[in-house]
């Protein structure tokens, strides 16, 4: 019996999304350091940006699969784990403000 084929999602789309998120979070951090935002505002804005970025990544994956005539039958546990880990790291950054 042959192994089932695995589809490798083109990571370029996710890499671009992550790069944008990192840039936006750095800009948010700089605004706090300049006194333009409070820590609470930065925390809320950062968490919102992170969640929206993950939602968009999920939509990108689904759109790419549909474009190629495929259907996603896996679970979202890896994406959810990455989201929780990113939020935890962001909370650590905000705690250092």
Per-residue pLDDT tens, the chain, 97 aa: give them. Answer: 555 555 566 677 777 888 888 899 999 989 988 999 898 998 899 999 988 988 888 888 888 888 878 777 666 777 778 888 888 888 888 887 7
- Paired tokens of 8: 């490798």
Listed in sequence order, the residues at least 6 apart from 18 whose beta carbon sits closer than 8 Å to its beta carbon are 53
Q: Is residue 12 a contact partner of residue 77, using CB atoms and an 8 Å limit?
A: no
Give the C-alpha separation, 34 to 12, whole Å.
33
- Paired tokens of 77: 């546990």
- Paired tokens of 34: 């300049």
pTM of the model: 0.73
Q: What is the model's pLDDT at position 36?
A: 92
């Amino acid at each position: 019996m042959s192994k089932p084929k695995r589809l490798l999602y083109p990571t370029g789309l996710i890499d671009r999304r992550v790069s944008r998120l990192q840039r936006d979070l750095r800009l948010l951090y700089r605004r706090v350091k300049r006194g333009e935002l409070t820590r609470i505002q930065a925390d809320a804005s950062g968490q919102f940006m992170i969640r929206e970025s993950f939602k968009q990544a999920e939509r990108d994956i689904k759109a790419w699969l549909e474009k190629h005539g495929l259907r996603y039958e896996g679970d979202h546990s890896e994406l959810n784990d990455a989201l929780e880990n990113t939020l935890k790291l962001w909370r650590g950054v905000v705690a250092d403000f």
